[in-house]
Each structure stands twice: as structure tokens, then as C-alpha cells.
Amino acid sequence: MTPAITQVVKRTGEAVPYDRDKITVAIYKAAAAIGGHDRSLSERLAEQVEHTLAKTYSDDMPPTVEDIQDIAERVLIDNGHASTAKSYIVYRHDRSRMRRRQQQREIENIPYKTMWQALDWAVDHECHTVDRLNATIRGGRLPDLIRAADARYEAILDEAARAILERREELRFVIVAGPSSSGKTTTTHKLKQRLEERGVPVIPMSLDNYFFDLEMHPKDEFGDYDFETPEAMDLPLINRHLAELDTGRGVDMPKYDFKAGVRLEETMRFECEKGSVILLDTLHGLYRGLTRSVPDEHKFRIYIETIGQLKGHDGEYVRWADVRLLRRMIRDSQHRAYSPEKTILHWHYVRRSELKHIIPYQGYADFIVNSSLAYELPYLKLNLYSCFPTFLDRWRKDEKRLDGFIRAGRIHDLLSSIESVEDDSLVPGTSLLREFIGGSDYDVH
């Protein structure tokens, strides 16, 4: 049945098209936060919300976002889902508080200082444009650039370690968070080395093991899973385990098989010795709901991103997300049974989640790590360039693949402008880039 309303009034006063699916998603996420994963139930409840709205509102008097949320809470309670209603209320409160805090510190959510430092470094090392980078490669100076870029990254981690040590007495968790393929795993290993060299026992803990089975998540029209949101993980179990670890107790941590997309029945015992620091490597480490059970003073939060400052032939700076997409395409094909084609077509989920659940929280970080490497594009090209002409031919006339086609075209043009290299033998095993192209000295997979 067509709803009696077609518009919703946003908090800004702007009228936008009504979309029942947004209600479904909000209810689903509230349920997922407490362990529920019934998409069909969320859809039925959203339909009830819509029917209630239709009895009260119309296009002459459209509901506000707050009106819809109030009715959603009432429908949840009336249908016996009090726990989900409570989760919905908490989520709604957190989103409101986050909006207020973002308004107060909007400028801080853009890492201008780090961007300026990156540009200054790139100019000093003559790699701030594609033309300068190509000249470095043709002139045989790539080994020098590799050493300089790696030294810059290592110096950033030295500074991060010093900042952690300054709060050593109160800290229980060090969280390395950031968007996909920003280099969290290698950064975690290197931080562990630095802290242990200074006498701090460190225990790495990957929250990737807390993902729900893929079949528990909805699919899109192409049969692709959306598992990029925080609710794709077992948030109640994570918080329970982190609270126990915070008090010094051990936990039985789950094990996840990424190739099969399922959580295994067996578990791993995770113990934390007295005085140790637990090092968490996770996409959503700054998302409040992920570590709600741990006091803020017990957490040191690091945000990592590829904050490159390379200007292309078109006069535009290379997009950080495009570099991370290339990294992920290689990693997924080598270690996660995901073809480069599937990765780029799934990327709209990744970006949507980053923009909603990761990037808005970067202002809460205690420290920012720039994981961009001035020399990586030639090696990313070496691994992937041959794929892109096929993608462009295949998706050119497919309207449903427009997002992938646009991304593929932009990246193909970028890689076409980069001077080619013949092999990756110049890249040391300690390089962060090895996390993606293979051959790392660390256990990164």
C-alpha cells in the first residue's frame, strides 16, 4: 500500500523523500547491537511504523525525523521488543550527542595538520606530483624515496609509542582504528615491538574474530553481503569480553574463518597478564558502541589513514580511498578468496560504512598515524593495472555497475599516468606495503 506520506522533515527543516528502508535499517541495527539478526522481522516492524505514521501525518503535515523515531520506539515496545527499544533509544541518544560534538569540533574531523605535514614532506622529497614521482623513478632514485618514506612512517610510530608511554599507568587498551586497508595490522605489530622494547608487555587482540556468520546479514540485488557496519560484529560479546579483560580476567575468544564466512565452534583462550596492554586492531575502534564497557581513561585511541598529498595530471589530489581500494583488491585476492572484481564492486558498502561509522569519529583519536607511502602507486600498478581495461569493458553499458565503472575509470587513468616498475624487490619486508602485496616480515594475515 502506498504510504499517505511521501516526505520527511529533517532536523535542518529540509523536506526529503520518505524511505521506509531507513526505518528498517535503524531497527535492524538496534537489534543487532544486542545480538538479533532477523531482517524480515525488522521489515515487518518498519511496516507497522509506516502504518502508524499514515494515520497521523500526510504531505500537508509531514512527520519529522524525531516523530518517526518516537513511533518506532513505541512500536518496538508494543510488540514485546523492549530490549531492542532500549538499544534503539541508546543509539538515538549517541547519534544526537555525536552530532552536537561534531558541530563543536567539525574542523578537528579534518586532519589539516597531518595533511600539511604530508604535503611539506612530499615537496621536500620531490614526490608531490605524478610528474615528479615519475621523474624519481626514471632517474633511478626510487630506492632513496622508499627509504625516506619508510623512515617517515617509522618516526610517526616512535612518536605514537612515546605518547602511549606517557599514559602507561592508566592504560589498559591501545586501539588502532581506521578505514579499510589503511595498514592497521602492520602498525599494530610495529607498535607492539616498540612498547615491548620499553618494558611494556603487549597482547595483540583482533576483533575480526567477532564477526557474525555472513548468512546472518542482508544481501543486495547482486547477492553481495553488507558486513562493513559495526553491527556486523557481535557487539554485546565484544563488550562483555573487554569488560572482563579490563578487570584482568581471561576470556574464551571466538575464531572466524574468513574464507568460509563463518564463526567456528572452537574458541581461543585469551589471557592478559598483570600490567600488560591489550592492543586492538579493528576498523571501528573509535565507534563508541564497540568499546562502551571500557572507561575512556583506560583507552589510547589511534586513527590511521593514507593521508597522501600527490597531485595527478588532472590537477586534483589522488583520493586516499582509491589508494586503499587498490591495497584491498590485492590483499583480498591473495588472502580472502575475494577477486579484485568483487572487491571493487563491494567498495560502495565499504565507503558508506566509513563515512557513517569511521571517519566521523576520527576527532576522538588521541593520535593520528599517516600510513601513506610515497612510493606505493607503482607497485600497486604492477599488481593490478591489467585488470582495469576488462572492468571498464564489462561495466560500460551496465547501469547497475555505474559506481564500479566510475571508480575503475578514475583509477585506470591514475595508474596509466604512473611510471611502471618491473618487480617489487626494492620494497623491504618491513614495509607497511608488504601487508598488501605479500612478503611481509610480520604475521599480517
E strands within 191-305? 202-206, 251-257, 262-270, 277-281, 299-305
Q: Is 275 left (phi over 0), alpha (psi -120 to 50) or beta?
A: left
Three-state secondary-structure class, residue 267 = strand
Residues 14-63 have pLDDT tens digits of 678 888 888 888 888 888 878 787 888 989 999 999 988 888 777 767 78
**Residue 104 pLDDT more than 50?**
no
Cα–Cα distance, 365 to 363 (Å, whole number): 6
Q: Which residues, including other chains, have CB under 8 Å from residue 220's CB and lie 6 or more apart?
A: 226
| Of residues 386, 382, 207, 172, the one with CA closest to residue 283 | 207
* pLDDT: which is higher, 228 or 370: 370
Residues 208-225 have pLDDT tens digits of 889 888 777 655 555 666
pLDDT for position 98:
59
C-alpha cell at 403: 559506481
pLDDT for position 258:
80
Could you tell me the pLDDT band of residue 233, with boundaries at 50, 70 and 90?
confident
E strands within 81-128? none
C-alpha cell at 175: 586501539
pLDDT for position 1:
45
Pairing of strands 7-9, 15-17: antiparallel
Cα–Cα distance, 227 to 233 (Å, whole number): 8
Q: Find the mean pLDDT for residues 265-279.
A: 91
What's the mean pLDDT when you consider all of the chain? 88
Q: Find the mean pLDDT for residues 73-88.
A: 84
C-alpha cell at 26: 535503524
Residue 227 near residue 208 (C-beta atoms within 8 A): no
CB atoms within 10 A of CB 341: 17
Could you tell me the pLDDT band of residue 78, with boundaries at 50, 70 and 90?
confident
C-alpha cell at 390: 576488462
Residue type for position 371: S
| Of residues 347, 333, 427, the one with CA closest to residue 387 | 333
CA distances to 36, 113, 175, 376 from 368, rounded to whole Å, are 34, 10, 12, 20
Pairing of strands 299-305, 367-370: parallel
Cα–Cα distance, 46 to 364 (Å, whole number): 33
* pLDDT: which is higher, 86 or 379: 379
Residue type for position 3: P
pLDDT for position 213:
85
Q: Which domains does the chain have, with CATH numbers?
A: 7-104 (no CATH), 107-437 (3.40.50.300)
301 bridge partner residues: 175
- Helix count (H) and strand count (E) of the chain? 15, 9
**Residue 143 pLDDT more than 90?**
yes
Mean pLDDT lowest for which of 276-290, 348-362, 420-434?
A: 348-362
Residue 219: DSSP 8-state? B
Could you tell me the pLDDT band of residue 238, with boundaries at 50, 70 and 90?
very high
Cα–Cα distance, 324 to 435 (Å, whole number): 12
Cα–Cα distance, 343 to 333 (Å, whole number): 8
